[in-house]
């Protein structure tokens, strides 16, 4: 039996093997055994109905956490372009699929008709189309990532003190429990910690670079003179918005492991 198997489990709310590999590196200094939704046999997909990255991250962390009953980390992230009023934002992965996109910037871009499904290249093309006519100095943007860590309610309390928190036996399970409540798990509410990471840049006029994915080929880092898609993977993972948030998460997770109470958000 390996040392890893003796560590407490931390559920990473994804079934994506690539994302799990990324988190394995980002959270390597946290004293937990990382498990995925697939590892636990969880196939249910949480509807990301929030209006912000924070709301979506909390929705996923609370529902998956209360389902699994263990410490859970979930994230939501995307691209925010200032000239487009923060779009695509929470719709970064679904940009242009549900409704026509009308550029915010006066004099730039055009209405693009929706079509499903869209590829990464389609979304990049749509973004650049919506930024036509926007001058360089107005093409500021950032990648933002919000991590939510859901902490299971304490099991040390006497049963009589916890009974009032149990869901009624005749209650119907809510498929979309409020993100602040920890869902219909054994015990609710459960505390939650939010951690935010971001990286600022500019949106190029055309894609450059073969590595990366999503909007990486048009996201220029002025201090490097390169797009995210041109950076070596090791360097990208060191400075990315997800790495920035994960670095903060390692500190919180180490505190939790040592028995120190983490800073919770409401």
For the stretch 142-192, pLDDT in tens is: 999 999 999 988 654 433 333 233 333 333 333 333 333 333 233 334 588
Q: Which pLDDT band holds residue 210 (cuts at 50, 70, 90)? A: confident
Q: Which residue has the higher pLDDT, 82 or 172?
A: 82
* Catalytic site includes residue 125: no
Instruction: Give whichever of 54-63, 93-102, 152-161 has the largest mean pLDDT.
Output: 54-63
Contacts of 38 (CB under 8 A, 6+ apart): 15
Residue 203 β-bridge partners:
219
- The CATH number for 3-257, chosen from 3.90.950.10, 3.30.530.20, 3.40.50.300, 3.40.50.720, is 3.90.950.10
Which of 76, 82, 122, 170 does the annotation list as catalytic?
A: 76
pLDDT average, residue stretch 59-79: 95
pLDDT at residue 162 in the model = 32
Q: Where are the domains of the chain?
A: 3-257
Residue 57 CA: distances (Å) to CA of 3, 64, 239: 30, 11, 21
pLDDT average, residue stretch 58-80: 95
Least confident of 79-88, 178-187, 207-216, 249-258: 178-187
pLDDT at residue 63 in the model = 95
Q: Which residue has the higher pLDDT, 203 or 16?
A: 203
């Amino acid at each position: 039996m390996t040392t890893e198997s003796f560590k407490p489990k931390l559920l990473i709310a994804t079934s994506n093997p690539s994302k799990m590999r990324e988190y394995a590196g980002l959270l390597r200094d946290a004293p937990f055994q990382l498990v995925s939704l697939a590892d636990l046999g969880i196939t249910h997909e949480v509807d990301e109905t929030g209006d912000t990255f924070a709301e979506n991250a909390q929705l996923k962390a609370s529902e998956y956490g209360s389902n699994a009953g263990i410490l859970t980390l979930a994230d939501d992230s995307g691209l925010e372009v200032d000239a487009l009023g923060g779009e695509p934002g929470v719709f970064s992965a679904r940009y242009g699929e549900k409704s026509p996109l009308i550029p915010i910037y006066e004099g730039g871009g055009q209405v693009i008709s929706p079509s499903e499904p869209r590829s990464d290249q389609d979304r990049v093309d749509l973004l650049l189309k919506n930024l036509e006519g926007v001058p360089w100095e107005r093409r500021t943007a950032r990648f933002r990532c919000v991590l939510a860590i859901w902490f299971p309610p304490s099991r040390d309390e006497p049963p009589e003190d916890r009974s009032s928190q149990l869901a009624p036996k005749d209650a119907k399970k809510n498929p979309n429990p409020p993100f602040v409540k920890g869902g219909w798990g054994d015990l609710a509410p459960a505390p939650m910690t939010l951690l935010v990471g971001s990286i600022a840049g500019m949106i190029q006029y055309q894609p450059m670079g073969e590595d990366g994915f999503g909007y990486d080929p048009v996201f220029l880092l002025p201090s490097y003179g390169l797009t995210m898609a041109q950076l070596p993977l090791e360097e990208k993972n060191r400075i990315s918005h997800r790495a920035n948030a994960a670095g903060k998460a390692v500190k919180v997770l180490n505190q939790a492991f040592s028995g120190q109470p983490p800073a919770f958000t409401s």
